[in-house]
């Protein structure tokens, strides 16, 4: 999705990437999709976004290859869910990097706490240690890659249990 101009054919891979993910709503939708959100009304409720904005962003994300539109039957008609593609799931290090940057450089509201990245494979906080030494791509404890499906986010101010992140084509559905 272009921000101000079409950067999809630029030589610079950063410009081409921003053409797809440069809109803040896109990364917030990716965040929710990583946490298992799949349905339009769930995205709308969790993000507090207008229907028209959400509809355009979801369409752009499908066109950009970040999400796949998958039909499901509800009551008497077919609806659609959105699931992460491999390209969408590959944004996890970028989202984790934004998480770590926000923890380091923005004030934490009094109503929230530290958002911990948990590596399920070694059962430890992947970002354990000083924020300055944390990495968005590998577990600081075992050194293995942090990939969706093997990572959870601990948002203790929202939920008691950590949220395991959905991977590409995840069958998770939260009705």
Q: Quick check: helix, strand or coil at residue 92? A: helix
Q: Range(s) for CATH 1.10.10.10 in the chain?
A: 13-85
Q: Quick check: helix, strand or coil at residue 125? A: strand
The confidence band for 124, taking pLDDT boundaries of 50, 70 and 90, is: confident
> What are the C-alpha distances in Å from 78 to residues 44, 74, 93, 108, 110?
19, 6, 34, 42, 43
pLDDT digits (tens, 9 = 90+) for 147-169: 988 999 998 888 889 999 998 87
- Could you give the strand order of the β-sheet that contains 124-125, starting from the edge strand earlier in sequence? 124-125, 116-119, 151-154, 163-164
pLDDT digits (tens, 9 = 90+) for 65-111: 999 999 988 778 888 999 999 999 999 999 999 998 888 899 888 88
Computed over every residue of the chain, the mean pLDDT equals 86
Q: Check residue 1 and give its pLDDT.
A: 45
Higher pLDDT, 129 or 55: 55
From the candidate CATH numbers 1.10.10.10, 3.40.50.150, 1.10.8.50, 3.40.50.2000, the one assigned to the domain spanning 13-85: 1.10.10.10
Positive/negative CA dihedral, 109, 112, 114, 115: negative
- pTM summary value: 0.86
Higher pLDDT, 167 or 58: 58
């Amino acid at each position: 999705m272009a921000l101000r101009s079409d950067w999809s054919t630029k030589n610079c891979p950063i410009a081409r990437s921003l053409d797809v993910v440069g809109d803040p709503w896109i990364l917030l939708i990716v965040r929710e999709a990583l946490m298992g959100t799949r349905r339009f009304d769930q995205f709308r409720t969790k993000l507090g976004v207008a229907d028209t904005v959400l509809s355009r962003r979801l369409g752009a994300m499908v066109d950009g290859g970040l999400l796949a539109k998958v039909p499901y039957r509800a009551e008497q008609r077919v609806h659609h869910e959105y699931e992460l593609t491999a390209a969408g799931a590959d944004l996890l290090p970028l989202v984790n990097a934004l998480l770590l940057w926000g923890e380091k450089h923005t004030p934490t509201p009094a109503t929230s706490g530290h958002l911990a990245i948990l590596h399920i494979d070694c059962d430890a906080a992947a970002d354990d240690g000083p924020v300055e030494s944390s990495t968005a791509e590998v577990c600081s404890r075992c050194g293995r890659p942090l990939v969706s499906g093997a990572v959870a986010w601990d948002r203790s101010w929202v939920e008691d249990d950590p949220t395991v992140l959905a991977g590409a084509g995840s069958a998770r559905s939260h009705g």
